[in-house]
Amino acid sequence: MKNIEVSELLNEIADYLEFANEPFKVRAYRKAALVIEGLSEDIEEVWKENKLMELPGVGEGIAKKIDDFLKSGKSKHLEELKKKTPVDMEQLGKIEGIGPKTILKLYRELKVKSVGDMEKAAKQGKIQKIRGLGPTVEQNILKSIEFAKKSSERVPLGFALSSAEEVVRMLKTLKEVTRASIAGSTRRMKETIGDIDILATSKAPEKVIDFFTKIPNVAQVLAEGPTKSSVRLKEGIQVDLRVLDDKIFGAALLYFTGNKEHNILLRRIAIEKGLKLSEYGLFDAKTDKLVAGRTEEEIYKKLGMDCIEPEMRENEGEIEMAQRHMLPKLVNYDDIKGDLQMHTKWSDGSNTIEEMALAAKNLGHGYICITDHTGKLAIANALDEKRILKQRKEIEKVNKRLSGIKILQGVEVNIKDDGNLDMPDKVLKQLDIVVASIHSGFKNPKDKITKRMIKAMENENVDIIAHPTGRLITKREGYEIDLDSVFEAAKKTGTIMEINSYPERLDLKDSHARAAVKAGVKLVISTDAHNTDQLHFIRLGIGTARRGWAEKKDIINTRSLKEMMRMMKK
Ligand code: DGT
Ligand code: CA
Ligand code: CA
Ligand code: ZN
């Protein structure tokens, strides 16, 4: 199906038309794009049957553009528009909050043609002087440019991981494949992924490569050789596959898992020991004899250290720890016994309490806490005091009906501007667990946000602080907050910090989780699931905790229900 591509093409054309100041055409293209995006039939079928113009909003002009695109894979019209447009629409359009209209304005007033021009104009304070833009827009432009520079083209782990696993699963169905694994940043569970790296071992590499390039989810083959290939998946992510001999799988896996700095240090240590480490194995430097290569464990061992978990391989001190046999014993992916943040139909979730409980039980959880939103937040359906009581009855009923899983009642309360909560203490007191979070005032100064959060933590009813920095990966930086002070307050008040497993959150992030563990703060790994599928996000949170060097004892929901509840304030 090329429906998405066609709809994207029409929208792109509309962007250029907007710049050309052709509002009527813009509206027509956007409307047609929307129709095709929502079309249940395959646009190529419609095209082959010559029925494009029967689609609502598609006239002769637009039908021609679609025809050209489906015939040639390109659009002459778009190329011409690009040539005629004096600005770099593609790059400028990627700056968050900037649309074609602003781009046009900036070009007319300041001759801004590129992101570089825009940055310069903003830094010189020229953008704030333009009518309809102002200082806030100028500040936001600068922030967005900074952010886009840092996160260009990377994909959140949560989107890459399942695609990567699916490719590995398919490779393993091939009888010619002996072993296959994810490598690279995906294996290290890094929060964003540049490309997916996969290794497979086989005696018939050509067959494996051929199979790989023909996987249905492959949109484009970027490179194809006898033992390696790169493709682009339909979801846009690039995948690199290397096929090699099984006896050096460990060496290759070590090399291609990275990260680069970790590898470089390992190589240096090898040299000091009269050895040579490469993607082809660990060799004796004098005789060139293979010393180790089949598994990572034996290579680390020959290098005089304990085997380091992939999530720790960032050259952040893990190698010294491994040499001194002092590596932390990381929390395992099967250590989690329950999930303490999720939403249901009672607020903005899409499943019932019972559905969430059954799905959690299926995942192996022994307990969950329902934490629907409260108060007057702009979230639809937030709970008031009355509905909290009503929900309690419902939870009691479901608990009676189900066995093997215990449902707790909690809420996610908002920390208001003054650090007070949007639900009175007398209500909070009656709940099993209270999760508090900041959902407003993101632009507050650091000092104010820090005070707000600490005030909430000092409330004896608040057990957990959810997504403590408010960041959204590749979308927005969190609010500014002094985490050292927050962690200190967490220890003093016994408040637990959340690692939110939602793919775009992972908040606390790895380095923050590590700082929290170091400060002796207890953590909880929760999903914030808004439907039953999202309960699977938990492993993203566990990966983040592992990247933060967290052990089982640091994570409260590795404990039994009784022990876990003993760690709550009340
Ligand atoms: P990414 O894709 O940007 O999220 O990050 P990685 O870590 O997956 O990096 P990638 O895909 O460029 O390469 C995969 C691994 O291969 C990397 O983690 C370490 C290894 N590697 C790549 N280039 C080099 C290199 O020049 N030297 C060394 N020692 N290792 C390398
Ligand atoms: Ca990679
Ligand atoms: Ca790569
Ligand atoms: Zn939420």
pLDDT, tens digit (0-9, with 9 covering 90-100), for 125-184: 999 998 888 898 898 888 888 777 665 678 999 999 999 999 999 999 999 999 999 999
33-37, 140-144, 274-278, 302-306, range with the lowest pLDDT = 140-144
Q: Pairing state of beta strands 523-526 and 496-500?
A: parallel
Predicted confidence at residue 96, as pLDDT, reads: 75
Residue minimizing CA distance to atom 17 of ligand 1: 258
- The Cα-based distances of 92 to 95, 98, 116 in angstroms read 6, 7, 9
Q: Does 452 score more than 70 pLDDT?
A: yes
CA gap 187, 181 in Å, rounded: 9
What's the 145 CA to ligand 3 centre distance in angstroms?
A: 26
pLDDT band for 450, please (50, 70, 90 cuts).
Answer: very high
* Integer CA distances (angstroms), 26 to 14, 29, 95, in order: 5, 5, 21
Percent of the chain with pLDDT over 70: 98
- At 435 the pLDDT is 98
Contact 435, 464 (CB under 8 A): yes
Place of tokens 């290397």: 242
Domains by residue range for the chain, with CATH: 3-151 (1.10.150.110), 155-244 (3.30.460.10), 261-323 (3.30.210.10), 338-566 (3.20.20.140)
Closest-CA residue, ligand 1 atom 20, reads 256
Q: Check residue 307 and give its pLDDT.
A: 98
Q: What percent of the chain has pLDDT over 90?
A: 85
Residue 516 CA to ligand 1 center (angstroms) comes to 28
Mapped onto helix, strand or coil, the DSSP state of residue 409 is strand
Q: Is 187 in the pocket of ligand 1 (CB under 6 A)?
A: no
In angstroms, the first-to-last Cα distance of the chain is 55
| C-alpha count within 13 angstroms, C-beta hemisphere, residue 173 | 8
pLDDT at residue 235 above 90? no
Give the pLDDT mean for 111-121. 93
Residue 306 · residue 315 · CB < 8 Å: no
Beta strands 367-373 and 406-414, pairing class? parallel
Structural tokens at position 454: 């600490």
| Res 144: pLDDT | 82
Q: Please tell me the distance between residue 196's alpha carbon and the centre of ligand 3 in angstroms.
A: 6
Confidence class for position 482, pLDDT limits 50, 70, 90 = very high
Do 315 and 341 meet the contact criterion of CB atoms below 8 Å apart?
no
Instruction: Give mean pLDDT, residues 536-555.
Output: 98
- Regarding the beta carbon of 341 and ligand 1, being less than 6 Å apart is answered no
Q: Side by side, which strands form the sheet with 196-202? A: 177-183, 196-202, 238-244, 228-233, 218-224
The amino acid at 288:
D
Q: Which of 382, 385, 390, 444 is nearest to 418 (CA)?
A: 444
> What sign does the dihedral 422-423-425-430 (CA atoms) show?
negative
Token readout for 165 is 């696993």
User: What number is the average pLDDT over the span 379-394?
Assistant: 89
Torsion of CA 296, 298, 300, 306, to 10 degrees: 110
In this prediction, residue 380 carries a pLDDT of 64
Q: How far is the CA of 190 from the centre of ligand 1 (A)?
A: 12
Rounded Cα gap, residues 275 and 517, in angstroms: 36
Q: Which atom of ligand 1 is nearest to the CA of 185?
A: 8
In a 10 Å sphere around its CB, with 0-12 CB exposed, 13-18 middle and 19+ buried, how is residue 170 labelled? middle
pLDDT at residue 94, rounded to an integer: 79
Least reliable range by pLDDT among 90-104, 194-208, 512-526: 90-104
Q: How far is CA 247 from the centre of its chain?
A: 34
Is the pLDDT at 119 greater than 90, yes or no? yes
pLDDT of residue 339: 98
Q: Quick check: CB of 264 below 6 Å from ligand 1? A: yes
Asked if residue 4 has its Cβ within 6 Å of ligand 1, the reply is no
Residue 377 pLDDT: 58
- Digit-coded pLDDT (tens) for 176-217: 999 999 999 999 999 999 999 999 999 999 999 999 999 999
The pLDDT of 260-273, averaged and rounded, is 96
If you count DSSP H runs as helices and E runs as strands, how many of each does the chain have, helices first?
24, 17
User: What is the Cα–Cα distance from 528 to 206, expressed in whole angstroms?
Assistant: 44
Say if residues 414 and 375 touch (Cβ distance below 8 Å): yes
Atom of ligand 1 nearest to the CA of 264: 29
- Structure confidence at residue 5 (pLDDT): 87
Residue 263 Cα: closest atom of ligand 1:
29
- Give residue 461's pLDDT: 97
**What is the pLDDT, as a whole number, of residue 9?**
94
pLDDT the model gives residue 476: 85
Strands 218-224 and 196-202: unpaired
CA-based torsion, 480, 485, 490, 493: positive or negative: negative
- 236 pLDDT band, cuts 50/70/90, is confident
Q: How far is CA 139 from CA 5, 90, 411, in A?
A: 33, 21, 35
| Interval 85-104 mean pLDDT | 86
Considering only CA atoms, which of 473, 471, 467, 569 is closest in space to residue 527? 467
Query: Is pLDDT of 535 > 80?
Result: yes
When computed from its CA atoms, the radius of gyration of the chain, rounded to whole angstroms, is: 27
Mutate which of 244, 256, 267, 279 for ligand 1? The one with the most ligand atoms within 8 Å of its CB, which is 256
- Average pLDDT of the residues in 537-545: 98
**For ion ligand 2, residues whose CB falls within 5 Å:** 184-185, 195, 197
